[in-house]
């Protein structure tokens, strides 16, 4: 199951609820992006490294990005671990890339007005995100143009 939408749309909140209700692990794209310019690279990592292993029933163990340090965490420090499970909830911008989703996957698009999204994102991440809002939004625009997750969504949820 994929929970996709622009920053601040409410993806993490919905993904947590779905994960709990479905007893499914939740994978956050924030752990896959290599920094503020890494949306596309994070999506490729999901498509090429994470989902093939998960779909084979193998555990996924990867290095996680440290937003505080601006680099990958050491291999032994707080690795990203996704256990084998019947279902995985993937949330984040870029989770709905064309190559990552397959027929039968459920793609949810979360929609909220920009002012609402921006307020939520800055309330959540504060000054750490503020200087990157425009730069991240430009990456979101490129992702949306290339992969059209909203147009391919099974369900559109308005959250604002």
Q: Would you list the domain boundaries of the chain?
A: 2-158
Q: Which CATH code fits 2-158?
A: 3.40.50.300
Report CA 49 to chain centroid distance, whole Å: 15
Residue in the block written with tokens 């050491």: 74
**Which of 120-124, 129-133, 151-155 holds the top average pLDDT?**
151-155
Condensed to tens digits (0 to 9), the pLDDT of residues 72-118 reads 988 777 788 999 999 999 999 999 999 898 888 999 999 999 999 98
Q: The whole model's pTM is what?
A: 0.92
CB 28 within 8 A of CB 12: yes
CB 34 within 8 A of CB 139: no
| Nearest-angstrom CA–CA distance, 5 and 3 | 7
pLDDT value of residue 41: 97
| Nearest-angstrom CA–CA distance, 98 and 70 | 28
Length of the chain: 160
| Nearest-angstrom CA–CA distance, 158 and 67 | 29
């Amino acid at each position: 199951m994929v929970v996709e939408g622009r920053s601040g749309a409410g993806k993490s909140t919905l993904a947590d609820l779905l994960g709990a209700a479905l007893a499914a692990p939740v994978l956050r794209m924030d752990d896959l992006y290599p920094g503020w310019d890494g949306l596309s690279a994070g999506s490729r990592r999901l498509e090429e490294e994470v989902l093939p292993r998960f779909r084979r029933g193998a555990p996924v163990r990867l290095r996680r990005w440290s937003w505080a340090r601006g680099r990958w965490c050491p291999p032994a420090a707080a690795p990203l671990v996704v256990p084998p499970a019947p279902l995985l909830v993937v949330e984040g911008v870029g989770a709905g890339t064309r190559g990552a989703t397959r027929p039968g996957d459920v793609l949810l698009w979360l929609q909220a007005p920009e002012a609402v999204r921006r307020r939520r994102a800055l309330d959540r991440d504060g000054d750490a995100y503020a200087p990157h809002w425009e730069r991240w939004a430009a990456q979101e625009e490129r992702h949306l143009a290339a992969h059209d997750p909203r147009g391919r969504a099974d369900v559109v949820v308005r959250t604002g």
